[in-house]
Amino acid sequence: MELNRRTVIAGAAAAGIAATTLGTGTAQAASGGKKPVKELFGKLADGTKVYRWSLENGGTRLKVLNWGGVVQGLEIPDRRGHYANVSLGFDNIEDYVAKTPYFGALIGRYGNRIAKGQFTLDGKTYQLSVNDGVNSLHGGTQGFDKHIWDVEPFTKGSDVGLVLHYTSIDGEMGYPGTLKAKVTYTLTKHGDWRIDYEATTDKATVVNLTSHVYWNLAGEGSGTIEDHELSIAAGRYTPTDTGLIPTGELAKVAGTPFDFRKTKTVGRDIRDGHVQQVQAKGYDHNWVLDKGITAKPEHVATLRDPRSGRTLKIATDQPGLQFYSGNFLDGTLTGTGGKTYRQGDALCLETQHFPDSPNHANFPSTVLRPGQTYRTTTVHTFGC
């Protein structure tokens, strides 16, 4: 959490406001994180048990499934200390298995799209699982989001968290090489949610891991995010064809609805009729972050709900950010709180390498070779 948030908490404590007024998460902020708690969430059709881990630290409450590393809930307070779950999800495993549009999930082996599900590496062409028209999306029909991960809880200093492991065997979804993925979710004493991704391979392959949380800072099921304010530190984006595959161009955002360099509401220019928006039914594009690839996570985007005052700041070391304005939500899914999700009821900010990089020599490389370790970090900082 940021300073203003801590000040509110400290002020409340000084004023003798009961912890219950602000929620138990606030009480935790002073005493450090709670040990992660595990409970049965449901069972897959074959009887495999799905567990849900609950973590709390610095005023943030995180609920994570061992299925897909799914963030099933993420609760943060508003400026009056009222908690809301700001992440879309379901209250049962059956809906996740049957119809989730990647709610809260870990995405791999390759987040976003690969044209025709094909790429050539070291002279060999690979055919991937195709699941989005003719293209491969988010790792194919059975991406990392649809597998059980090994989950180990930890408490380290003032941090609490989970280490998630998944091994994707050589040839799974068409990708070469056995890829060992390790993802660490950490809640810090300030209530920040940090994701550290790591992967190694035994054959040259491509990797692009990300997290697919659908944010609504007013609370999931509370309606549109068009009034959320957003800024993205990017002067360029990657325009796409009708299948949402980048054309290869790094187009300037200046003078287009894609310009989020100065804070504006998500809805302000969403109906401008720019051909790129019409194709995508809104925003569903990769922003080319001005900072490029960095050694450490740097701040790239800020989202704010003016009604509740809740803010989310994203820092990453990655070169791209997919901003998806929830265009395919169509009122057919009923979420955690019992409300249906309609178009624009949430948005995703997926830190990543550019879509279809394996087919664009001018995009930063996503190739991972034996002996190398893929490492990337994204930090979510909440405030109010």
The values of phi and psi at residue 157, to 5°, are 60, -125
**Binding to ligand GLA, residues 74-103 (CB under 6 A):** 101-102
Q: Is 375 buried (19+), middle (13-18) or exposed (0-12) by CB count in 10 A?
A: exposed
Residues 6+ apart with CB under 8 A from 232: 260, 261, 287, 289, 300, 301, 321, 323
Cα-to-chain-centroid distance, residue 322? 10
Q: Report which secondary-structure segment, H or E, holds 301.
A: strand 298-304
Kindly state the smallest distance separating residue 328's Cβ from ligand GLA, in Å. 5
The answer to whether residue 298 is catalytic is no
- DSSP assignment letter at 292: -
Q: Are 327 and 270 in contact (CB under 8 A)?
A: no
| Number of chain residues interacting with ligand GLA (CB under 6 A) | 10
| Cβ 334 to ligand GLA shortest distance, Å | 17
Whether the Cβ atoms of residue 113 and residue 102 lie closer than 8 Å to each other: no
244 lines the binding site for ligand GLA (CB under 6 A):
yes
348 in contact with ligand GLA (CB under 6 A): yes
Binding ligand GLA (rule: CB under 6 A), the pick from 328, 331, 340, 370 is 328
For ligand GLA, the closer of residues 308 and 325 by Cβ is 325
Given the residues 190, 212, 353, 360, the one annotated as active site: 212
| Structural contact between residues 310 and 382, judged by C-beta atoms closer than 8 angstroms | yes
Binding range to ligand GLA, per CB under 6 A, among 53-61, 177-185, 320-328, 364-372: 320-328
The CA distances from residue 5 to 31, 86, 191, 279, in Å, are: 16, 17, 10, 40
Q: Which is nearer to ligand GLA, 4 or 247 (CB)?
A: 247
Cβ proximity to ligand GLA: between 321 and 348 the closer is: 348
* Site string (15-54) toward ligand GLA, x via CB under 6 A: ----------------------------------------
Please provide the DSSP assignment of 201-258 as one string.
Answer: ESS-EE-B-EEE--B-TT-TTS---TT-EEEE--SEEE-B-TTS-B-S--EE-TTSTT
The answer to whether the CB of 159 falls within 8 A of the CB of 189 is yes
CB 112 within 8 A of CB 356: yes
CB nearer to ligand GLA: give 60 or 211. 211
- Check if 212 is active-site: yes
The distance of closest approach from Cβ of residue 17 to ligand GLA in the complex, given in angstroms and rounded to an integer, is: 40
Convert residues 170-209 into a mask of x (bound to ligand GLA by CB under 6 A) and - (unbound): ----------------------------------------
Site for ligand GLA in 103-122 (CB under 6 A): 112
Q: Site residues (CB under 6 A) for ligand GLA?
A: 101-102, 112, 137, 244, 284, 322, 324, 328, 348
**So which residues are the catalytic ones?**
212, 350
